[in-house]
């Protein structure tokens, strides 16, 4: 990797220890991904926030570097483990809460916007086309590259943090105008958001850094997010390109059979004890939509609804939260289904969700069974 | 392929594994002892050796484990891999542990117990003592 003289001296420690660590991370990840140089970025989005995932080592590391480290560009971050407003209802132990608050404090000290959201593309203004950013959250990186005309690597928690501090990221192939060598043809008729989530999961398995997708109809926000979430879960692929691709591209169909394979891999039961909506977190449109779908109905089971705090506050002002709570929803800000410590196999056997990303982590990390259903099906089956 | 991921200069004894290492959960953070009984280094400590292994696998959070091992003075002097992976790369970057990748032939020629010097400022990177 080519470094400027200034970058070389930072790597040698001449700009202080924090800069040295940050440059060491950028160079190591850049070399590992065959990047040729570093380029300036305008926005970093961090993962590695939930105490459930980063543990004591992460908490200690962040606490130690936050004494000196400061971010140099706009920096937002992923969900944490709980919503402080209602954490008392979920029986989390005191140690978890205090460690999580320490992590929160470290990030705020470093100058990070406490957004605790996995959908930065929906709650912040999108910079102009072609802007270089550094997003660690996989669904957000894919959304940024595929729908928002931004350019980002699928960053790791560490490269995104280093990028936030330095204001640069490695210039690897995904940031260039690449031509995927594979095209997925969407063959499934009448797709809903669950179908798109499964398509994304399939695409992530077969794609390398990017894939072409053809045969897609007009998609709504929920479906786009589901596709990004699905793809981020199953591989390293960081971008959809919409179209047929070159004629020499390998062509693969996503048909009923492939969809069934994904379904069978992630759906482990036909009935859930509770329902979760949100992974990725719901935006205001989806909250509004859910409120109208639930008019005059209520859930017969617990239903956890995850959204960013800004969305929860807006929804409260408009009156959606009251209506949703009346319909039996628990609304949680700052956290998400994905890697939540609020669901564990001691008190929950199975979860119903429309999220492929949620399903993957509920099954593999929380160790509970998963029942996959589209939102409309969930409302039909689980409300009265 | 030869790559310098984290620069540095050390001399030490090789501990080689033919298996990939998942740092999250299979290495004791206090002692550096490999606790996975399916691993060929089971029961051995990676402390103060030049650790040679194909690549890292598993969660990227394993990078924090590498950092913890180093904080507990139980880390390898350096790591040498066949293939670069982001978990080991970032972990070594956090902990400032020299890390290089080498060719398949070089990888084959390295054996446990060899006395090796590694210097990323020299052109051949590694030299047998």
Give the integer Cα–Cα distance in Å for A169 and A179: 22
CB contact under 8 A, B93 and A33: no
CA distance A217 to chain B (A): 35
Q: Which of B60, B65, B92 sits opposite A28 (nearest CB)?
A: B92
Give A-chain residues touching B60 at CB under 8 angstroms.
156-158
Q: What is the pLDDT of residue A236?
A: 83
Look up the domain containing B13 and give its range: 3-128
Of the CATH numbers 3.40.920.10, 3.40.50.300, 3.30.360.10, 3.30.499.10, which one belongs to the domain with range A267-382? 3.30.499.10
> Which of B17, B59, B117, B123 is labelled catalytic?
B59
- pLDDT attached to residue A63: 97
Between helix B62-71 and helix A51-65 the angle, nearest 10°, is 50
Q: Which residues contact A6 (CB under 8 A, 6 or more apart)?
A: none
What does pTM read for this prediction?
Answer: 0.94
β-strands A250-254, A168-170 pairing: unpaired
Grade residue B62 by pLDDT with cuts at 50, 70 and 90. confident
Q: Nearest to residue B21, comparing CAs of B49, B9, B10, B6?
A: B49
pLDDT > 90: what percent of chain B? 75
* Cα(A117)–Cα(A140) distance, integer angstroms: 10
What confidence tier does B114 reach under pLDDT thresholds 50, 70, 90? very high
Q: Which CATH number does the domain housing residue B96 bear?
A: 3.50.30.10
| Angle made by CA atoms A61, A308, A136, in degrees to the nearest 5 | 45
The pLDDT tens digits of the residues spanning A223-269 come to 999 999 999 999 889 999 999 998 889 999 999 999 999 999 999 99
Q: Identify the pLDDT of residue A60.
A: 92
pLDDT at B57: 86
Is the backbone peptide bond immediately before B64 cis, with ω within 30 degrees of 0?
Answer: no
Q: Of the candidates A11, A29, A61, which has its C-beta nearest B86's C-beta?
A: A29
Q: Considering chain A, what is the average pLDDT of its residues? A: 96
Tell me if A5-175 shares its fold with A267-382: yes
Find the helix packing angle between B86-95 and B62-71, rounded to 10°.
30
Contact flag B94-A21 (C-beta cutoff 8 Å): yes
pLDDT digits 0-9 by tens, B19-52? 999 988 789 989 999 998 889 999 999 999 999 9
Per-residue pLDDT at A153: 93
Mean pLDDT of all residues in B59-83: 92
pLDDT at B60: 77
Number of compact structural domains in chain B: 1
Identify the CATH class of A5-175.
alpha beta
Low-confidence residues in chain A, pLDDT < 70: none
Q: List the structure tokens of A350.
A: 């199975």
Structure confidence at residue A243 (pLDDT):
93
Collapse the DSSP code of A121 into the 3-class scheme (helix H, G, I; strand E, B; otherwise coil) and give the result: helix
pLDDT tens digits, B91-104: 999 999 999 999 99
Cβ atoms within 10 Å, residue A218: 5
| Token pair in block for residue A41 | 């970025």
Give the C-alpha separation, A326 to A259, whole Å.
35
CA distance A1 to chain B (A): 10
Interface touch A156/B86, C-beta < 8 Å: yes
Mutation site for B-interface testing, chosen from A10, A23, A57 by largest number of B Cβ within 10 Å: A57
Domain ranges of chain A: 5-175, 182-264, 267-382
Spatial separation of the C-alpha atoms in residues A183 and A49, rounded to whole Å: 35
């Amino acid at each position: 990797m080519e470094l400027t003289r200034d970058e070389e001296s930072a790597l040698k420690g001449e700009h202080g220890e924090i800069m040295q660590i940050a440059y060491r991370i950028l160079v190591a990840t850049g070399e590992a991904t065959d990047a040729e140089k570093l380029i300036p970025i305008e926005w970093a989005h961090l993962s590695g926030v939930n105490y459930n995932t980063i543990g004591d080592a992460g908490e200690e590391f962040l606490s130690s570097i936050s004494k000196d480290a400061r971010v140099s560009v706009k920096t937002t971050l992923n969900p944490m483990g709980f919503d402080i407003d209602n954490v008392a209802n979920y029986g989390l132990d005191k140690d978890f809460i205090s460690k999580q608050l320490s992590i929160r404090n470290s990030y705020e000290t470093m100058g990070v916007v406490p957004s605790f959201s996995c959908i930065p593309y929906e709650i912040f203004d999108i910079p102009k086309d072609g802007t270089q950013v550094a997003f660690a959250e996989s669904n957000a990186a894919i959304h940024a590259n595929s729908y928002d005309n931004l350019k980002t690597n699928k960053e790791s928690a560490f490269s995104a943090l280093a990028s936030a501090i330095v204001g640069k990221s490695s210039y690897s192939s995904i940031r260039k105008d690449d031509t995927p060598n594979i095209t997925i043809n969407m063959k499934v008729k009448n797709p809903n958001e669950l179908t798109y989530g499964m398509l994304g999961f399939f695409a992530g398995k077969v794609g390398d850094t990017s894939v072409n997708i053809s045969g897609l109809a007009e998609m709504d926000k929920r479906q786009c997010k589901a596709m990004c979430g699905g793809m981020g879960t199953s591989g390293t692929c960081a971008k959809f390109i919409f179209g047929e691709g070159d004629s020499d591209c390998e062509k693969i169909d996503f048909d009923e059979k492939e969809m069934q394979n994904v379904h069978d891999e992630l759906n482990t039961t036909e009935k859930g004890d509770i329902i979760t909506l949100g992974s990725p977190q719901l935006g205001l449109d989806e909250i509004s939509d859910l409120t109208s779908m639930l008019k005059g109905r209520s859930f017969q089971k617990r239903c956890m609804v995850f959204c960013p705090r800004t969305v929860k506050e807006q929804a409260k002002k408009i009156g959606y939260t009251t209506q949703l709570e009346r319909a039996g929803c628990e609304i949680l800000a700052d956290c998400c289904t994905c890697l939540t410590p609020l669901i564990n196999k001691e008190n929950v056997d199975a979860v119903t969700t429309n999220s492929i990303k949620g399903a993957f982590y509920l099954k593999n990390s929380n160790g509970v069974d998963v029942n996959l259903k589209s939102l409309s099906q969930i409302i039909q089956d689980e409300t009265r | 392929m030869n790559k310098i991921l984290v620069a540095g200069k050390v001399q030490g004894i090789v501990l080689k594994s033919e298996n990939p290492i998942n740092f999250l959960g299979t290495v004791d953070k206090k002692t550096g002892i490999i606790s996975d009984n399916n691993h060929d280094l089971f029961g051995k400590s990676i402390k103060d050796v030049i650790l040679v292994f194909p690549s890292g696998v598993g969660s990227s959070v394993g990078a924090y484990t590498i950092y913890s091992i180093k904080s507990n003075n139980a880390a390898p002097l350096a790591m040498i891999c066949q293939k670069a992976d982001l978990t080991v790369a970032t972990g070594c970057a956090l902990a400032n542990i020299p890390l290089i990748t080498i060719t398949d032939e070089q990888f084959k020629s390295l054996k446990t117990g060899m006395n090796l010097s590694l210097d990323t400022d020299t052109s051949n990177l590694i030299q047998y003592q």
